[in-house]
Chain A
Amino acid sequence: KAGVTQTPRYLIKTRGQQVTLSCSPISGHRSVSWYQQTPGQGLQFLFEYFSETQRNKGNFPGRFSGRQFSNSRSEMNVSTLELGDSALYLCASSPTSSSSYNEQFFGPGTRLTVL
């Protein structure tokens, strides 16, 4: 089985622009979560989608949004980029269909640099 794929792997944007990152989960996985990783704040949970619905949300401003499609692929969008949004954005998928924990499989991440 192919792993979690994220595109693009690297991205450079300027302040004020918006960006869309894509995540394709492992085939059959219905839950997709997004995390932001920075040297200063570490790994922080952004949101989680299951069956096209946002099920959990972290403490991020409204500039960060996401969605999930019927094929479980997910996108996250960041509008009005700030320098502090420079980070590695990680996507993780999980096969569970219940609320109990199941293993999350992480993709390689998208490295976003905001200039």
Chain B
Amino acid sequence: AQSVTQLGSHVSVSEGALVLLRCNYSSSVPPYLFWYVQYPNQGLQLLLKYTTGATLVKGINGFEAEFKKSETSFHLTKPSAHMSDAAEYFCAVSPANSGYALNFGKGTSLLVTP
């Protein structure tokens, strides 16, 4: 079974600093990978996804992630944090051609301080 590990349940950064949220996956075959964001009392919003092709994926709100097969990682980055980026972030994996069963990581809560 495929699984996802998010390192750090809480990450704190200063406004304007680099955001780095870590995600590692375990899979015997190349999976599809995703990052979602959840604001309080809301559902999940897709930030970006990797299925095939270019390993550097750009998403919404200035976020990007790089698929590194050799490291089984899919870390999320943003060059400069905004206060509005404070939220819960989830990494998810789906086996290719599995339909829509997503396996989510435990989530990382991002705090942005002034």
How distant is the Cα of A44 from the Cα of B104 in the complex, in angstroms?
Answer: 7
Residues from chain B with Cβ under 8 Å of A108 in the complex: 41-43
Q: Which range contains the number of B residues in contact with the other chain?
A: 20 to 34
> Given A101-B51, A101-B94, A101-B96, A106 and B44 touching (CB < 8 A)?
yes
Residue tally, chain A, CB below 8 Å to B: 27
How distant is the Cα of A4 from the Cα of B51 in the complex, in angstroms?
Answer: 24
Pick the residue among A31, A42, A44, A90 that contacts B100 (CB under 8 A). Answer: A31
Residues from chain B with Cβ under 8 Å of A31 in the complex: 99-100
Residues from chain A with Cβ under 8 Å of B45 in the complex: 106
Binary CB contact string for chain B from 75 to 92 against chain A (1 if under 8 A, 0 otherwise): 000000000000000101
A101 touches B32 (CB 8 A): yes
A101 touches B44 (CB 8 A): no
A99 touches B42 (CB 8 A): no
Pick the residue among A99, A105, A109 that contacts B99 (CB under 8 A). Answer: A99
Interface: B22 (CB within 8 A): no
A99 touches B102 (CB 8 A): no
Stretch in A14-22, A50-58, A63-71 with 4+ CB within 8 Å of B? A50-58
How distant is the Cα of A35 from the Cα of B92 in the complex, in angstroms?
Answer: 13
Interface: A43 (CB within 8 A): yes
Most chain B beta carbons < 10 A, residue from A31, A102, A106 = A106
